């Protein structure tokens, strides 16, 4: 659980000067297919909080011209990736996207095999447990166990949490080798702009906590009523890193219980999941 509720958020698809992410990348790589990248930018605009979108909203979110957005949406609709929304002028994702998402979640079998291991810890302590991997500037949840609680946060498989502003992200970054971490930090600095000093401070604190304890702390930082910790999952060859987070309402999950009772169980969980990671390097690492 955790900063688990952060709704993820609007104009992330834009580059530094309103340039779309696809256009920025294509200017550096002659083999880059800009049209494909733009189509994927369209699909990334749809979230649990933004299930129905019109072309004007999609143009604003992506920074693309509206005629371009219209053509992309037409193509995606013909392929089944977009379908009509609640009203004729709006769209939502179709079964094609759901099939791709299912394939991504189960591509290594990690989420399937991790599920019973995560459930054991969740049931023992009455907490929520999430497993995530990095995608660009986010950590995307690939498996989750939700604890029964009156505190319901908007967090589920497929949710994206900010790499620089979540215990999942802090744990992931802390476990990277120095060269990979420095590369990620440079991208994050450009991404966050004026907000970077605060984000950088939180990341630095997370790295210190990981070096000292093997996990990172998030005590009411991302949600005033939630305490959480993050633990990296590192493949035996150290070529791949994922991350676990767990947490609950601070009224029932004290910082002492998290650090003395739950943390050892989460560290053991990470060790059990680690051998399941393949030697495939993380995308965008």
> What is the DSSP track for 108-127?
SSHHHHHHHHHHHHHHHHT-
CATH of domain 106-276: 3.30.450.40
CATH of domain 3-101: 1.10.10.10
Which burial class, exposed, middle or buried, applies to 40 when counting CB atoms under 10 A from its CB (0-12, 13-18, 19+)? Answer: middle
User: So what's the pLDDT on residue 220?
Assistant: 61
User: So what's the pLDDT on residue 187?
Assistant: 94
DSSP 50: -
Q: Residue with structure tokens 């494909």?
A: 36
pTM of the model: 0.67
User: So what's the pLDDT on residue 149?
Assistant: 58
Domain ranges of the chain: 3-101, 106-276
User: So what's the pLDDT on residue 267?
Assistant: 96
Angle at 273 between CA 272 and CA 278, to 5 degrees: 130
Residue numbers of the chain with a pLDDT score lower than 70: 1-28, 98-99, 101-109, 148-154, 220, 222-224, 278-285
**Euclidean distance between the first and the last CA atom of the chain, given in angstroms as a whole number:** 24
Angle between helices 55-62 and 34-44 (to 10 degrees): 110
């Amino acid at each position: 659980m955790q900063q688990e509720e952060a709704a993820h958020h609007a104009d992330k698809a834009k580059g530094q000067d309103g340039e779309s992410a696809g256009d920025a990348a294509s200017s550096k790589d002659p083999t880059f297919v800009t049209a494909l990248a733009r189509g994927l930018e369209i699909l990334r605009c749809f979230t649990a909080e933004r299930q129905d979108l019109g072309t004007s909203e999609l143009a604003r979110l992506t920074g693309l011209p509206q005629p371009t957005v219209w053509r992309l949406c037409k193509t995606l609709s013909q392929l089944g990736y977009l379908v009509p929304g609640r009203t004729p002028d709006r769209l939502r994702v179709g079964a094609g996207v759901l099939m791709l998402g299912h394939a991504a979640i189960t591509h290594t079998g990690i989420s399937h095999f991790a599920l019973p291991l995560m459930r054991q810890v969740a049931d023992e302590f009455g907490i929520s447990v999430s497993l995530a991997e990095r995608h660009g500037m986010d950590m995307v949840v690939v498996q989750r166990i939700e604890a029964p609680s009156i505190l319901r946060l908007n967090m589920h498989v497929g949710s994206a949490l900010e790499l620089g502003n979540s215990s999942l992200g802090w744990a992931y970054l802390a476990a990277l080798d120095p060269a990979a971490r420095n590369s990620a930090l440079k991208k994050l600095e450009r991404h966050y702009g004026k907000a970077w000093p605060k984000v950088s401070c939180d990341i630095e604190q997370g790295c210190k906590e990981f070096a000292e304890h093997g996990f990172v702390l998030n005590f009411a930082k991302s949600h005033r009523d939630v305490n959480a910790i993050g633990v990296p999952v590192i493949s035996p060859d150290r070529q791949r890193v994922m991350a676990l987070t767990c947490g609950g309402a601070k009224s029932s999950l004290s910082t002492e219980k998290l650090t003395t009772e739950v943390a050892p169980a989460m560290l053991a969980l990470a060790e059990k999941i680690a051998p399941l990671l393949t030697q495939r390097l993380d995308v965008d690492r």
